[in-house]
Amino acid sequence: MEIRDSLIRGSVMEQYIRQIGYIKLNGFPGGLCSDLAEITGASESLTVWNTRQDNGVMGETVCESGPGDELLIKVPFAGATLTIRLLFYLREPWMPPDMSFSDIQFLSRISTEDLEDQVPALNNWNCSEDDIIAQLLHQLLQLYKKYQLEKLDDDEVLQFEYRSLLKTLKIGEGDIEILVNSPGHNTSSLLVRLPLSLQDVPPVLIDANPGSATSLLQVTFQGNEGVFVPKLYLSPRVESLIGGANTLALPAVPPGTCLLDYVERVLELLEEKVRKAVLCFETRKQFIAQVLCQFGCAVMEYDAERFSKVVLMFEVKDFHFLTFITLGQLFPQQQAPKIVLQSLYHNSPREPYSKEYSDQKYSPQWTPEEMVRNVRDVILSNVSSFQMSSIRTN
């Protein structure tokens, strides 16, 4: 009997570990940031639970659980963190886990019908399915979202703003998370996934960062005067194109700012950045094309993906030398092409002798053809002094 018991318990444990592994690998849908959820096993063996008794009365139960029976899931939600505690009955694996939430009011406000309806995993707890815990978390998150939306009925202004965001941005309910008067604080917050599309961006600019191109704006309301504090989150794919979220200066929020107007402004700001990044890329491409057109017979190498660099070899009065032309991130508007001449004959002492020459006359208004002609002029006017210094250094 004992051996059979431990065998059964062993396989239950294996299944349980597989289920946790499933979530860690695949995550669980339902939240805008649920892929950032932190999942740990609680280490205390003595835990205090806020549980809902069968008679509907809220109470506290102290139970002893072995480490490993309990899962702690911290999910970012609308700018705050929702912690879900699940206590599993590994000796009675057909039983669904006990649940507890950091938002204490949540459990007390939802009805048994809601639970049965919206979280069917509880009634159909199939402990042999690998993704059953993931399903449970998904359903709980959805229920939590619904609960928050119902609380919106008590806040007309916020509800109006929520609805206008949906309508004006043309996004779905899955793109906004709202936390109405989060527990313990008197602040509401929302997290909206901005419809910023990277569809027309040349893939080479973002392919180094696979994954979703997500832009999230978090808004925290303080007090009742409609004052709010914004914060921007961008996925790596977006950041690689337009820069880190913390380098982008969000517009100020003077009192009386309408939320919808503000969100639209932020979206426009991001769209403009995307347009600029693509335009910079196109300009670099045109510049390199002009270089190839004027000096294609002297080309050594050029960056054929991002068009950020071209290296040529030139001869002036029997003196041969390399020319490196680099286009930085701020080209063309704020930065001229960088021109470096490099020696084929002399090291100084460990690397080939090289010198950078700046273009005093550069103007971003020039056509690529003019820019390239100007680069040629800079080279020609500096070759002899470069030649002299390279010999002297050796």
Partner 1 sequence: MFCDNPSSLILGMAAEERSSGGSSPSEALEVTEQFGSVTVERHVPRINCPEHIILVVDVCREDGNTSYKLADGSKFSSLYMVKRAITLFLQNKHAIDSRHKFALVVLHESPIWLHDFTNNPREIMSELDELEDAVATSRCDLSLLFDLIARQISLPQCSNPAVAPPPCVFRTIVFYGRSQCLPQFLGGKAVFTHLIQSPHFFLDVLYMHEAPSDENKCEGIFDLLCGLDESGWSYVLEVSRNATKLHNHCGSLLAHPLQRPTQKDVHYTLNGVD
CB of 179 to partner 1, least distance (A): 40
Work out whether 389 is an interface residue with partner 1 (CB under 8 A). no
- First-to-last CA distance in the chain? 89
Do residues 70 and 86 lie in contact, with contact meaning Cβ atoms separated by under 8 Å? yes
How does strand 98-101 pair with strand 176-179?
A: unpaired
Beta bridge partners of 231: 218
Q: Is 299 in the site for partner 1 (CB under 8 A)?
A: yes
Site for partner 1 in 200-239 (CB under 8 A): 202-204
Q: Is-contact 148 180, C-beta < 8 A?
A: yes
Stretch that binds partner 1, among 2-10, 16-24, 225-233, 293-301 (CB under 8 A): 293-301
Give a three-class secondary structure readout of 177-220: EEECCCCCCCCCEEEEECCCCCCCCCHHHCCCCCCCCCEEEEEE
**Is 1 buried (19+), middle (13-18) or exposed (0-12) by CB count in 10 A?**
exposed
| Stretch binding partner 1 (CB under 8 A), from 83-91, 146-154, 286-294, 326-334 | 286-294
322 binds partner 1 (CB under 8 A): yes
Instruction: Report how far residue 316's alpha carbon sits from residue 294's, in angstroms, rounded to the nearest whole number.
Output: 16
Give the contact letters, 165-204, x = binds to partner 1 (CB under 8 A), - = no.
-------------------------------------xxx
Which residues in the 339-358 window bind partner 1 by CB under 8 A? 342-345, 347, 351-352, 354
DSSP one-letter string for 378-394 = HHHHHHHHHHHHHHHH-
Mark 232-271 with x for binding to partner 1 (rule: CB under 8 A) and - for no binding.
----------------------------------------
Measured in whole angstroms, the distance separating CA 384 from the mean position of its chain's CA atoms is 51
Size of the site for partner 1 (CB under 8 A): 45
Binding site for partner 1 (CB under 8 A): 202-204, 285-286, 288-290, 292-305, 311, 313-316, 318, 320, 322, 324, 342-345, 347, 351-352, 354, 368, 376-377, 379-380, 383
